[in-house]
Structure 1
Amino acid sequence: MDRIFNIYKPAGMTSHDVVYKVRRILGIKKVGHTGTLDPDAVGVLPICVGRATKVCDLILNKDKTYICDMVLGIETDTYDSSGQVLEVKDPSAITEKDLIKALESQIGVIDQLPPKYSALKVKGRRMCDLVRAGKGDQIDLVARKIFIKRISILSIDLPKVKFEVECSKGTYVRSICHDIGQILEVGAHMTGLIRSKTGIFEIDKAISLEELERLRDDDRLEENSWSVEDVLSDLPYIVLRDNAVKYYSNGGKIEERRFDDHNLKEDSDLVRVYSKDGFIGSGQLFRQDGVLMVKSHKFF
């Protein structure tokens, strides 16, 4: 089986816990997730099975949408409610106008510092493990460029705020909350997080691990999962001529004159690749001596 399942990750489980459960339910060893969700967070976690694990990184690179609950006036060391309280301040002087302005400051391309309590690695060790081992002073946080496409306020009942954020990969919503607290000078932390969308995968179509077991028992797994081609449907395509397919599958570089059909645009980069018989993989476009070419990126 080479499919992608839109799994609803419950609270209290790590992303790796979900992978382990899916392996057990499906009886398949080759299983991977497409982007870590914190244990306390819930929502969309696409799980790739079999050869579909080759596209885990492509799904990881897709934009994501989250619904976040934030509380002003309390700062924690983890930037969420699982951590130790560092400072408490009175947020009663904060107005809705102040809050909206602070949230709007996060929209666009920004430099974001990740939380020390995260799975990012420093010299081969996760930062959260270093902090718990009392070695947090060895961590030199480095800001990363991220893109916040939009932030929409869903409700305001100060000091509580609920908002939706659409963002690029690598974004820490916890850090958004922390940074809002710093801007408003009262502190803030995240109290709840739902990932509602990753690429084409949406929360209203996500299935629980219990549902996955029932689908397995009813022999309905395929109709409730996605193919690799489905996941790449937003990419432009090329169709290779018969005499180029084997060369492509062996990692060769194919010139544009050997494309039988395509819908490429000027800025096309990754593409779906087809033979006359159907989908065969993804390709990386590049130019060599002014000639447009494609080489194998992921071959299926």
Structure 2
Amino acid sequence: MSADTTLQGVLCMNKPAEFTSFDVIGKLRGILHMRRLGHTGTLDPMATGVLPVLVGRATRACDILPDQDKSYRASVQFGWETDTEDVWGTRTAVYSDMHVTKEKLEKALLQFQGTIRQVPPMYSAVSVEGKRLYDLARKGIVVERPTRTVVVHSITLEEWDEEAQTAVLQVSCGKGTYIRTLLSDLGKALGGGAVMTALCRTKASGFTLEQSYTFEDVIRFCREGSLEQHLIPTDQLFHSLPKLVLSEKLTGLYRNGVKLSLQQLSDLVPHAETYRVYGFDQSFLGTACVDEDEQVLRIWKNFK
């Protein structure tokens, strides 16, 4: 039996700089000798940090993750701009008279918390009229991008150097937030410009940097035969959903694809629409949705 059919779970990687998220998947396919791998959200090539990799049947969770919040440690330099909104791009503007104080910075940060609007950067994977923005940007083409709504739960100042005009920020945000753009917009709000100089994702989909491994770690796990012990169980992707445990009889029916009547279920949570479902032996079966109209529990995604 191949690893593709036996291994299942989440392998949290600490992505190194200069690797794309797809590069990480490609290298892991070579190390693990399996094709069925996916990730829960891209990181810029120069960024480092948490990249949850879905292994085996866990890849079925890619498009249904309930927890898409992320946390970052971002470094920023005030006083100039680039075409990529980070230090690795081409410099496009310099604000020699710009001087940020700690007081001004902390005041400006307040307007970037909560629900805000962003224009995706040209160097991004966003598609406009069927074309990736970064493909257009590499050809020197700049197009109008529709603004999008994102949520920043918190943004706090961790380090500040007024002489160097640099700062380190801790950012907690929702899906689709561009940290580069957040910092660029912050620079504009302070009367000039800013570029991101470093980015580390410290949390993604509920998983932390402390749970993440390097390629060297994974190679060692494979050599020791302990890789499976270092996979986080698939059901942890759905830790925010209420748990539903089925009786032995209902487990058999559920495994056979039978829709269960809500009247048969005793552990339903009022107003909950989605559940993580377990068999009578506590094995994780998958996720299911409540159909109020038909008064049944419908299978959403199976992981068995």
TM-score (norm 2): 0.90
1:294 aligns with one of 293, 297, 303: 297
The aligned counterpart of 1:283 is 288
The aligned counterpart of 2:130 is 124
Matched residue SS, 2:292: strand
5+ residue gaps, structure 2:
1-6
Check conservation: 2:10, 2:233, Cα contact below 8 A: yes
2:88 is aligned with 1:82: yes
Check conservation: 2:66, 2:240, Cα contact below 8 A: no
Whole-Å separation in 1 of the counterparts to 2:62 and 2:160: 36
Larger strand fraction of residues: 1
CA separation of 1:120/1:101 partners in 2, compared to 1, >3 Å: closer, same or farther? same
Quote the offset at 1:27 in angstroms.
0.6
Whole-Å separation in 2 of the counterparts to 1:286 and 1:80: 47
Matched residue SS, 2:112: coil
Residue identity over aligned pairs, in percent, reads: 35
Check conservation: 2:100, 2:190, Cα contact below 8 A: yes
2:263 is aligned with 1:269: no
| C-alpha RMSD over aligned residues | 1.9
Whole-Å separation in 1 of the counterparts to 2:260 and 2:66: 27
CA separation of 1:265/1:71 partners in 2, compared to 1, >3 Å: closer, same or farther? farther
Regions of 4+ moved over 6 Å: none
1:207 aligns with one of 213, 219, 226: 213
For residues 155-209 of structure 1, the C-alpha deviation after alignment (integer angstroms, 9 at most, x for no partner) is 1113101000000011100011011011112111101000001133111221101
Matched residue SS, 1:195: strand
Check conservation: 1:74, 1:188, Cα contact below 8 A: yes
- Give 1:1-300 correspondences, 5 Å limit: 1-59=7-65, 61-90=67-96, 92-136=98-142, 139-158=143-162, 159-242=165-248, 244-245=250-251, 248-249=254-255, 253-262=259-268, 264-266=269-271, 268-277=272-281, 278-288=283-293, 291=295, 293-300=296-303
CA separation of 1:87/1:201 partners in 2, compared to 1, >3 Å: closer, same or farther? same
Whole-Å separation in 2 of the counterparts to 1:60 and 1:257: 26
Quote the offset at 1:242 in angstroms.
4.8
The code of the aligned residue for 2:68 comes to: K
The code of the aligned residue for 2:274 comes to: L
CA separation of 1:163/1:26 partners in 2, compared to 1, >3 Å: closer, same or farther? same
For residues 27-86 of structure 1, the C-alpha deviation after alignment (integer angstroms, 9 at most, x for no partner) is 111111111000000000011111011112344852100000011111111111111111
